[in-house]
Structure 1
């Protein structure tokens, strides 16, 4: 029964989409008429140009690969030329010492080669720029030298030659048809592995590898992309050593479609493999894309009339209604036109219903928010009254207490209670109960503390307060810290060298969201060394450190040039919105 019902629902849904008044059927009909003849022409033309496009793309990639490998080609060709020239000169230097001295001076003049030497037919390098003989018979290059005299390029790393990998270039020496050995040059790999500065980043391959006829890698242009992650399975470099360049497309082990372009650099000795993105390497030229563009343009002319009449003008009107609602919560006043499709009429009806629900929800939330604000202000007001009542009780107790020490303790405690009352009064008097103006709060605390006159001079109060909005969680420890530090400053203030006694409170924003609070007071010009230590004892100092830790920054004190200063730095916290609060 349920399966039959589902089938009927799916059939009814399909009927609505493909009905005579549905949008889909109309658009499909217009586009089919427009695209059919142009599409057939585009398919035919694209097939004709495809072969030419691929051929040009292959030639272009081969040329770019050869251009990218040009520095390697030029360096190795130059090395072969140097080897042939030295082969003629070295024959005339029978003395190994003179030969080595000559080669050493040659390297110093060029600064390109790590080593140059003459390898005898028996595999011993008696004459070299290293000024000592080398046995080459246990090296890989000798395995190639001993097969048949030919030009050789290979990679090796031998500590006695260089502390880094070197590319060995060896050229045979023959005299009157008799094989006399090899001239071998060692070139540091890093000097020719860098990309050419003539190639822009847009025309640079993903990876460029040069290798010899045995498939041994000589240079890798991009060390960040390992060759194993780019070469497809069973891709053998030794089999890509033909005399003609080739380009093939394949999928890398990471699933990326790439183009592999191989071209010879030094005939029979060095080859280059460029790996390119398939989209860039085999991009179609402009001409094959001309017919799809014409097809798109023609279809656009036909489809525009249909879509504009059936969709665009109605969607534009609906969009204007939505923007008006978003700007001033105004619902659409004009009813839907008769030629609007059924799908758009349903969308408009859903929008009107949704907008009405939003207006109702916003009104309800505004009422809740207003009630919440009133309740919070009432709570802060009552807390303030209770704290003031406690302060009054403490005042009564102080008047009845004969002990001066007890009265001083109760007075300090009363100041702390009044500090809390000041915060709650600021909260219920402010428009935003979730924020406190720190400058206003500190001014009231300073006024509440009452600046007592220093002995023999009139006490002045200096305020430098920047308007900052703080959360109550930070405003409470800030006010309590200020109250404690100000009381400490008032109890220890003394005239300075000019005879003026003063206290200063500063609250300024620093870089980013950091704030610095500083309370300072003047002291006598000559103060005992242990005066600062005396201040570091007692409940007030412990409270200051605790309140500074709640703010998020340690308190620091200094006493120099007749000024005692307490400061702390803290970060302003942002209000965190919790959906459960509403």
Structure 2
């Protein structure tokens, strides 16, 4: 897009006596006009200073709040550590009596705790430092644990656990079989609710409150006034349980302006609220008058007009030319605007020269890529032929071998060789030798396994395969894993309740960019274990080892399960987008 002569003349008139083609002189001239209102700069700097002061005051109060709540944090963190450690140790004890004896000795050596106990999955505390079992099913901790087992901190008044208020710390015990109960420790509230002494005397909070994720107050330090008389209207502790520390100023019911600093002490479990007197930065707003703002706006308009006239419109035109070149390799038209600066003209000239070089390089690279593709296909073709030759030699050897076990081993090895040959055949038949259609590859492997000599004619094969493009580095272990797992599934499939013998292969994309491969078969009874397996089943030991190795190459472990008359092998792995990691070079 070119400009007319009239536009060039108007541009020259706008430049005035700044007729030099240097971009620097033009920008300096217009920015000099824009920077005339020095007062605006001073006001802006003042505002920045006030904002920085406010930010520093906020960070200081948050740090002091965290420092004041450090004893509570350390005590509860230590209690969680003890609970997790006891959750492992207690599970090794044989009976409730020895367990309780162990906890009683443990609590005698550590005077911090009033009680330690293990609550079973049925809600009964049979193992504890107390003398008798307790039913915990009516407690708040059990209500929360039964809904979602998580680390819990809560306050209890005088109960059968202790004759004084205690802070209960509960940590769930979970194993591979699910929720087994939780370890509960009771800490006397008086041991950690002492007045604040960990901060400087001149910077103590009016009040320091710790509470749990439900907004329940655990400890109150420097309790000179009731908490209700210090909290502003609408301030709910249960809503102040975020992961980030925050500080805000508000007015208490008495009208006094206070600062409320909230910081997490134990992530997701315990939080601290520090109530501080409002400082200057929190109480004084920043005000400006109208005239400096108008002057600032006028300066911006002048500066914008200058930059737009001299730089932006030319840069946009050059950007459109670059986008056209990137979209359809169209070179920009010859000639430039008469008022374009010397620097931008040089940039446009360099771009035109670079675009021409890119077109030449792309043509050369396309020829090289075409030759590379032909050579790679030829390599895959020859590898496939060699693998088929090896398969034929193995077939000749199988016909000469009298031992059935040896023939079985050679047959399984031949299936693996044919699986590799299938991959290379797919690669040289594909237009893009760097990508493999996983669905097509698995269909050919299933067809190969179904047509093998050991396949049963009454067996039904079910396929649910999504078209996915994989790199060869992932396609090879995927096909070999499928071949091994499918052979095991066909060998061990038995009729289901309806009398149908079937195997199923599924390959689907999941959320998060992962792919899930599932191979299942009908199996009303469990698969034979290694102690009772037959001679043919023991041969699957190598196959299962190979399956685990191939799954590790894909990037995800394999899992097996047997339920509802179905034996299923599953593995999930992420799809790689490039053959090699650039960080390796």
Q: Quick check: 1:508–1:517 contact (8 Å CA) kept in 2?
A: yes
Instruction: Tell me the equivalent position of 1:465.
Output: 465
User: Residues 338-417 of structure 1: matches in 2 within 5 Å?
Assistant: 338-417=338-417
2:20 aligned counterpart, secondary structure: coil
Distance 2:223 2:526 in 1: 77
| Contact 1:545–1:554 (8 Å) recurs in 2 | no
- Aligned-residue offset at 1:447: 1.1
The separation in 2 between residues aligned to 1:374 and 1:518, in whole angstroms, is 35
TM-superposition CA deviations, 1:259-318 (whole Å, max 9, x none):
xxxxxxxxxxxx95424279x833313243223434555x46xx84x7666545544432
1:389 Cα deviation after fit: 0.8
Q: How does 1:119-158 map to 2 (within 5 A)?
A: none
Report how far residue 415 of structure 1 moved: 1.0
Retained in 2: the 8 A contact 1:454–1:494?
no
The aligned counterpart of 2:450 is: 450
Q: 1:363 Cα shift?
A: 3.0
After the TM superposition, which of the residue ranges 438-447 and 480-489 deviates more from structure 2?
A: 480-489
1:371 Cα deviation from its structure 2 partner: 3.3
Q: Is 1:164–2:203 an aligned residue pair?
A: no
Match of 2:24 in 1: 24
For 1:193-272, list aligned pairs within 5 A. Answer: 193-195=230-232, 197=234, 221-222=260-261, 224=263, 272=277
Q: Deviations over 1:191-243 (max 9, x none)?
A: 44445559xx9xx9866899xxxxxx997522559xxxxxxxxxxxxxxxxxx
Paired residues of 2:40 and 2:293 also in contact (CA < 8 A): no
Aligned partners of 1:207 and 1:275 also within 8 Å: no
Say which SS state the counterpart of residue 333 (structure 2) adopts.
Answer: coil
Give the deviation of 1:482 after TM superposition. 2.1
Whether the 8 Å contact between 1:477 and 1:548 is mirrored in structure 2 is no
User: Where does residue 288 of structure 1 map in the other structure?
Assistant: 292
State TM-score, norm by structure 2.
Answer: 0.53
Closer, same or farther in 2 for the Cα pair 1:572/1:407, shift >3 Å? same
Superposed displacement of residue 497, structure 1? 4.3
Q: Which residue of 1 aligns with 2:576?
A: 574
Q: Is the 8 A contact 1:470 1:572 kept in 2?
A: no
Rate the CA distance shift 1:438–1:370 in 2: closer, same or farther, 3 A. Answer: same
Conserved? CA contact 1:22–1:342, under 8 Å: yes
Structure-2 separation of matches of 1:554 and 1:44:
67
| Residues 344 and 565 (structure 1), Cα distance of their counterparts in 2 relative to 1, 3 Å cut | same
SS in 2 for 1:565: strand
Tell me how far apart the structure 2 counterparts of residues 418 and 508 of structure 1 sit (CA, whole Å). Answer: 24
Larger Rg: 1
Instruction: Give the whole-Å Cα distance in 2 for the aligned partners of 1:367 and 1:456.
Output: 50
- Equivalence for 1:128: none
Evaluate the alpha carbon distance shift between residue 44 and residue 482 of structure 1 in structure 2; reply closer, same or farther with a 3 A threshold: closer
Aligned counterpart, 1:276: 281
| Structure 1 residue 426, shift from structure 2 partner | 1.3
* Structure 1 residues 544 and 321: CA distance shift in structure 2, 3 A: same
Cα distance in 1 between the residues matched to 2:583 and 2:372: 14
Unaligned runs of 5+ residues in structure 2 are 1-17, 55-194, 196-204, 209-217, 241-245, 265-275
8 A contact 1:515–1:571 mirrored in 2:
yes
**2 CA distance for matches of 1:567 and 1:511?**
20
C-alpha distance after superposition, 1:86-113 (max 9, x if no partner): xxxxxxxxxxxxxxxxxxxxxxxxxxxx
For residues 205 and 556 of structure 1, what CA distance do their matches in structure 2 show?
48
Given that residues 518 and 565 in structure 1 are in contact (C-alpha distance below 8 angstroms), is that contact kept between their aligned partners in structure 2?
no
Question: C-alpha distance in 2, partners of 1:520/1:45?
Answer: 74
In the other structure, the counterpart of 2:163 is none
CA contact (8 A) 1:209 1:272 kept: no
CA distance in structure 1 between the partners assigned to 2:422 and 2:385 by the alignment: 10
Query: Partners of 1:46 and 1:307 in 2: how far apart?
Result: 20
Alignment size in residue pairs: 379
C-alpha change, 1:467 and 1:165, in structure 2 (3 Å) is: same
Change (3 A) 1:197 1:499: closer
Matched, 1:544 2:549: no
Residues 1-43 of structure 1 deviation map (CA, whole Å, 9 limit, x = unaligned): xxxxxxxxxxxxxxxxx983333334545666x679xx4xx66
Distance 1:325 1:532 in 2: 69
Q: Describe the shift of the 1:284–1:449 C-alpha distance in structure 2 as closer, same or farther (beyond 3 A).
A: same
- For the structure 1 residues 381 and 489, does the alpha-carbon distance in structure 2 shift closer, same or farther, using more than 3 Å as the test? same
Give the structure 1 partner of residue 324 of structure 2. Answer: 324
Q: Sort the Cα spacing of 1:533 and 1:431 in 2 relative to 1 into closer, same or farther, 3 A.
A: farther
* 1:533 to 1:430, Cα distance in 2 relative to 1, 3 A: farther
Supply the distance in 2 between the matched residues of 1:416 and 1:387 (Cα, whole angstroms). Answer: 10
Where 1:281 maps in the other structure, the secondary structure is coil
How far 1:444 sits from its partner (Å)? 0.7
How far residue 471 of structure 1 moved from its aligned partner, in angstroms, is 2.8
How far apart are 1:419 and its partner, in Å? 0.8
For the 8 Å contact 2:232–2:251, the answer to whether it is kept is no
Structure 1 unaligned residues grouped into runs of 5+? 1-17, 62-138, 140-153, 169-186, 211-216, 226-270
Question: Take 2:375 and 2:390, find their aligned partners in 1: how far apart are those partners?
Answer: 23
Aligned to 2:269: none
Deviation at 1:339, TM superposition (A): 4.2
> Aligned partners of 1:513, 1:371: CA distance in 2, in Å?
33
